Amino acid sequence: MTKSTVSGSDVDRIRDSIARAHELAAAQFRDTFVPGQTLPTAHLEILAAALLEYAEGVRALGAIHYQIDDDTIAPFVVPDQPLFRYFDVEKNPTAVFEYWLIVSEIIGSTSWRMTTLIATPEEYDISLRRMRSPQIVRALVVSFLPSVEMRDDGSAFLEATVYSRAGEERIERRLLLLDPFNEFHFHGRELIAEGRGGVRT
């Protein structure tokens, strides 16, 4: 089991694909919106389809829909079954990283909307300047690029550096476990910097 770094060019390509998916979804929603007829979940479903259309290493085994239950909006392929088992993710580090970004966009949690990927020293500096009263905990960071360790049992470990304002304001190296059923689990974090600009979620 070897840890592999996702290249900067692959990070840029995946980010660009996600940005183009958002643009496509916004245009399609504007073109198809009918007041009083378009469902509240329409834009989310269009976006999910666009994200997967532009993906290279990730596919869904069916169309993604959304169910609204009070204040909760949950994506699904088959009702009352876990969403994650309906994804097909190629077994390579770049696809695992791409899947993390795509499934995070599809789920669209409040904390994710307050989270930004950091992949370069320049992005780290920008995030530090955005922080309120930042305190650097770890001064030396060898690389901000994501890395992935593929495992023999079909699981994988993903490390990625993020800036988040959800609850606590922090820059951290986050460790996530992707299980064999394509669900990510928080596995740990290494704090790099913290500030006082957190937002309660």
Calpha distance 112→132 (Å, rounded): 19
CA 121 remoteness from chain centre:
20
| DSSP per residue, 117-128 | EE-SHHHHHHHH
Calpha distance 25→133 (Å, rounded): 37
Domain boundaries, the chain: 3-195
| DSSP per residue, 48-71 | HHHHHHH-SSEEESS--EEEEETT
Global pTM reads 0.94
**Phi and psi at residue 19, in whole multiples of 5°?**
-65, -40
The 10s digit of each residue's pLDDT in 81-129 is 999 999 999 999 999 999 999 999 999 888 999 999 999 999 999 999 9
The 10s digit of each residue's pLDDT in 128-155 is 999 999 999 987 788 999 999 999 999 9
- Find residue 176's DSSP bridge partners: 158, 186
